């Protein structure tokens, strides 16, 4: 054993299985002191004044940490909990227990890297060693067939190269038992949502799925989606859906805080392929995980460019910060039902499908001409699965300031509605006041005639807003 005592600082890697950081710490240390710090800055406000972590994700995080704590207790150890700044708290704990080293997982974006740098500096001052592990992606950073600075500008080039030249590493086993943490350490408690300045969100019965945080729940979801309902078999055909639990995997929330690793999901896809079926759908789930990797590596390469209005391309964009338009968008009252239904789902549940996200983002930027960063921050606040790189990377693409080879991609909401919600079921689900309208009026209530208005009991401007922009026809 290299070390008597090591600290394992948990970040977005809230799991025991396939946690290389934990594995490395455990193989080289007699005693581990695992710690999670609720970073007080994550519960402040964003630049545009939204809560940086809204109630949906905060609740999911509390559940995830509780689950991890239970897992450590079952192994004979425990998870130390604090609220504050990790770069101050972790070195302090290390000093208190006389730790030889601190282990933690690497992140890729600015705020997280700043914390890492400050932590390393503090540890250096106290001559405490540190070890960092890259483990947030499917393909390991060191296995890429190019250095991260040479990441291809186009996703397809990236994908083809990693598929051809890189291999996904095997997952790491979870520890079987652990020594108890030193008795002198005060374990600390999980804060309540109220202590974090939030109120508990109400469960909405219309939600596609009830997200519950934690490694156990992540595996339950995987078991359900792959093995029990066999939904993976049809993923490629269903993934653009809008209603229900199984049109897509819903793995995103657990992936975002690391309750499950992309490598584990890959491993399970391979098992599914050998035991059930290998088809375009099984491949497509991996394809999407490669998109996730791409945005993560892009954030590593480009640093703060992904957060700038001009984006990855450094392209000037004429976008306003019109408060009224933004509020109408955020509250789901733009007068375009397909957009409003998606925005209401997000507000009520913390989740929205990928098809929905593309449409509402495009609408905010291309139709309302509002600064895409306001939308990205709204997502940051509300999404249960918020992931810095995936969120800002996707917003760059949709806003037209990313590396999208398809120049100026536009999602026409009427055309998209007719393709993905042909019978209006999704709009009816989230906008009950329109539920009596038939197709095509359900997607174009602004075309309602006085007679139809009486017939269906829907008056524009009273029951549902008039469109706040001129709606382009679906052609």
Ligand X SMILES: Cc1cc2nc3c(=O)[nH]c(=O)nc-3n(C[C@H](O)[C@H](O)[C@H](O)COP(=O)(O)OP(=O)(O)OC[C@H]3O[C@@H](n4cnc5c(N)ncnc54)[C@H](O)[C@@H]3O)c2cc1C
- Residue 375 C-beta: closest distance to ligand X, Å: 7
Q: Which residues bind ligand X (CB under 6 A)?
A: 239, 248-252, 255-256, 285, 288-289, 291-292, 295, 353-354, 357-358, 361, 379, 383, 385-387, 390-391, 394-395, 398
Q: Please, which residue, 24 or 357, has the CB nearer to ligand X?
A: 357
Rounded CA separation 111/165 (Å): 32
Evaluate whether 299 touches 306 at the Cβ level (below 8 Å). Answer: yes
Q: Please, which residue, 26 or 137, has the CB nearer to ligand X?
A: 137
Rounded CA separation 361/170 (Å): 36
Q: Please, which residue, 94 or 289, has the CB nearer to ligand X?
A: 289
Helical residues (DSSP H) of 230-279, grouped into ranges: 235-238, 252-256, 262-275
Neighbours of 397 (CB within 10 A): 20
Task: List C-alpha distances in Å: 52 to 44, 56, 298, 434, 441.
Answer: 6, 11, 22, 33, 37
Rounded CA separation 387/64 (Å): 16
Q: Please, which residue, 12 or 358, has the CB nearer to ligand X?
A: 358
Q: Please, which residue, 101 or 388, has the CB nearer to ligand X?
A: 388
- Residue 445 C-beta: closest distance to ligand X, Å: 25
Helical residues (DSSP H) of 101-256, grouped into ranges: 110-125, 155-165, 215-222, 235-238, 252-256
Q: Please, which residue, 36 or 295, has the CB nearer to ligand X?
A: 295
Task: List C-alpha distances in Å: 349 to 208, 210, 244.
Answer: 8, 9, 13
Q: Please, which residue, 344 or 357, has the CB nearer to ligand X?
A: 357
- Residue 93 C-beta: closest distance to ligand X, Å: 30
- Residue 51 C-beta: closest distance to ligand X, Å: 15
Which residue, chain included where needed, has tokens 């408060």? 323
Neighbours of 252 (CB within 10 A): 19
Rounded CA separation 304/419 (Å): 36
- Residue 104 C-beta: closest distance to ligand X, Å: 22
- Residue 380 C-beta: closest distance to ligand X, Å: 7
Q: Please, which residue, 248 or 264, has the CB nearer to ligand X?
A: 248
- Residue 173 C-beta: closest distance to ligand X, Å: 23
Evaluate whether 55 touches 84 at the Cβ level (below 8 Å). Answer: no
- In terms of phi and psi (left: phi > 0; alpha: psi -120 to 50; beta: otherwise), the region of 435 is alpha
- Residue 474 C-beta: closest distance to ligand X, Å: 21
- Residue 440 C-beta: closest distance to ligand X, Å: 26
> In 276-290, which positions are buried (b, 16+ CB within 10 angstroms) versus exposed (e)?
eeeeebbeebbebbb
Task: List C-alpha distances in Å: 152 to 156, 162, 175, 312.
Answer: 9, 11, 37, 13
Which residue, chain included where needed, has tokens 């495009």? 362
Rounded CA separation 233/254 (Å): 21
Q: Please, which residue, 72 or 226, has the CB nearer to ligand X?
A: 226
Q: Please, which residue, 72 or 411, has the CB nearer to ligand X?
A: 411
Q: Please, which residue, 26 or 394, has the CB nearer to ligand X?
A: 394
Rounded CA separation 123/95 (Å): 9
Task: List C-alpha distances in Å: 156 to 151, 287, 468.
Answer: 11, 10, 37
Rounded CA separation 176/174 (Å): 6
- Residue 269 C-beta: closest distance to ligand X, Å: 11
- Residue 211 C-beta: closest distance to ligand X, Å: 10
Rounded CA separation 339/370 (Å): 15
- Residue 353 C-beta: closest distance to ligand X, Å: 6
Rounded CA separation 379/284 (Å): 25
Q: Please, which residue, 9 or 379, has the CB nearer to ligand X?
A: 379
């Amino acid at each position: 054993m290299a070390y008597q005592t090591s600290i394992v600082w948990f970040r977005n890697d809230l799991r025991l299985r396939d946690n290389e950081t934990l594995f490395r710490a455990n193989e080289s240390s007699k005693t581990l002191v695992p710690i999670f710090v609720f970073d007080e800055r994550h519960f402040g406000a964003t630049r545009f004044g939204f809560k940086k972590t809204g109630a949906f994700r905060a609740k999911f995080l509390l559940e995830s940490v509780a689950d991890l704590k239970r897992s450590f207790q079952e192994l004979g150890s425990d998870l130390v909990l604090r609220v504050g700044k990790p770069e101050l708290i972790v070195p302090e704990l290390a000093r208190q227990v006389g730790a030889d080293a601190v282990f933690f997982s690497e992140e890729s974006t600015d705020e997280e890297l700043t914390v890492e740098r400050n932590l390393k500096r503090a540890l250096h001052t106290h001559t405490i060693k540190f070890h960092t592990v890259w483990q947030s992606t499917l393909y390991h950073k060191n296995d890429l067939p190019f250095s991260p600075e040479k990441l291809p500008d186009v996703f397809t080039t990236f994908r083809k190269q990693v598929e051809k030249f890189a291999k996904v590493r095997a997952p790491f086993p979870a520890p079987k038992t652990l020594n108890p943490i030193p008795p002198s350490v005060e374990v600390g408690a999980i804060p309540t949502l109220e202590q974090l300045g939030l109120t508990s969100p109400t469960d909405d019965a219309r939600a596609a799925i009830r997200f519950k945080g934690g490694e156990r729940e992540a595996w339950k979801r995987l078991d359900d989606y792959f093995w029990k309902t066999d939904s993976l078999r049809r993923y490629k055909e269903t993934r653009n859906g809008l209603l229900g639990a199984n049109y897509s995997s819903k793995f995103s929330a657990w992936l975002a805080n690391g309750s499950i690793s992309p490598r584990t999901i890959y491993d399970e896809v391979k098992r599914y392929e050998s035991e059930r079926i290998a088809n375009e759908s099984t491949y497509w789930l991996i394809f999407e995980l490669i998109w996730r990797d791409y945005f993560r590596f892009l954030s590593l390469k480009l640093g703060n460019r992904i957060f700038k209005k001009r984006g990855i391309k450094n392209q000037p964009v004429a976008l306003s910060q019109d408060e009224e338009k933004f509020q109408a968008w955020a509250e789901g009252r733009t007068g375009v039902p397909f957009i409003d239904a998606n925005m209401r789902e997000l507000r009520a549940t913390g989740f929205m499908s990928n098809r929905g996200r593309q449409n509402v983002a495009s609408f905010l930027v291309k139709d309302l001409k509002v600064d895409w960063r306001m939308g990205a921050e709204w997502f940051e606040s509300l999404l249960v699965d918020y992931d810095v790189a995936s969120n800002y990377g996707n917003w760059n693409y949709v806003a037209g300031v990313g590396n999208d080879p398809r120049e100026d991609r536009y999602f026409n909401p009427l055309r998209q509605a007719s393709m993905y919600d042909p019978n209006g079921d999704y709009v009816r689900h989230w906008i009950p006041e329109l539920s009596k309208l038939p197709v095509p009026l359900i997607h174009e209530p602004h075309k309602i005639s006085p007679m139809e208005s009486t017939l269906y009991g829907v008056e524009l401007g009273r029951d549902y807003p008039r469109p706040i922009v001129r709606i382009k026809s679906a052609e």
